[in-house]
């Protein structure tokens, strides 16, 4: 969950600061948070995706999870392009893209919270 929150902070920084403030503040700082957040999130999310898989199917489950990561990235990028394509200024396009990513990352955080709650409830029942 820390990874998704860190990623969300990066997108919020990008939207609030904006590219108009220059590369270091407007792009590099938010991308630092986004990169660290995605690095922190990818491992646990992949593990959660294969946690309930049978040992014999673990390789297939991992492949499915990685495929869904790729499809999700493609669909997410397409969604951002649809929202941001209306603006002709690169700065406006960047800002709209950042805020769209804030929305999508917030949805991801909600999904992670729901999944974590269900996993805790399941582990309490098994103990």
3-state helix, strand, coil in the chain (%, to 5): 90, 0, 10
User: In total, how many domains does the chain have?
Assistant: 1
Please tell me the pTM assigned to this model: 0.77
Task: Name the one residue in this structure whose structure tokens are 């406006």.
Answer: 92
In tens digits, the chain (127 residues) has pLDDT values of 899 999 999 999 998 988 888 889 988 999 999 999 999 988 888 888 888 888 898 889 989 999 998 998 899 888 888 877 787 788 888 888 888 889 989 998 998 899 888 877 777 776 6
Angle of CA points 59, 62, 32, to nearest 5° = 145
Domain that holds residue 73: 2-126
Length of the chain (residues): 127
């Amino acid at each position: 969950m820390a990874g998704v929150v860190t990623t969300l902070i990066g997108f919020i920084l990008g939207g609030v600061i904006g590219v108009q403030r220059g590369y270091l503040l407007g792009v590099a700082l938010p991308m630092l948070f986004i990169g660290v957040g995605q690095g922190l999130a990818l491992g646990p999310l992949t593990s959660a995706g294969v946690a309930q898989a049978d040992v014999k199917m673990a390789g297939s489950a991992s492949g499915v999870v990685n495929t869904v990561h790729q499809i999700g990235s493609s669909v997410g990028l397409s969604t951002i392009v649809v929202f941001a394509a209306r603006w002709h200024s690169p700065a406006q396009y960047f800002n709209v893209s950042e805020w769209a990513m804030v929305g999508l990352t917030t949805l991801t955080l909600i999904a992670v919270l729901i999944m974590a709650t269900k996993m805790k409830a399941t582990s309490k029942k098994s103990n």
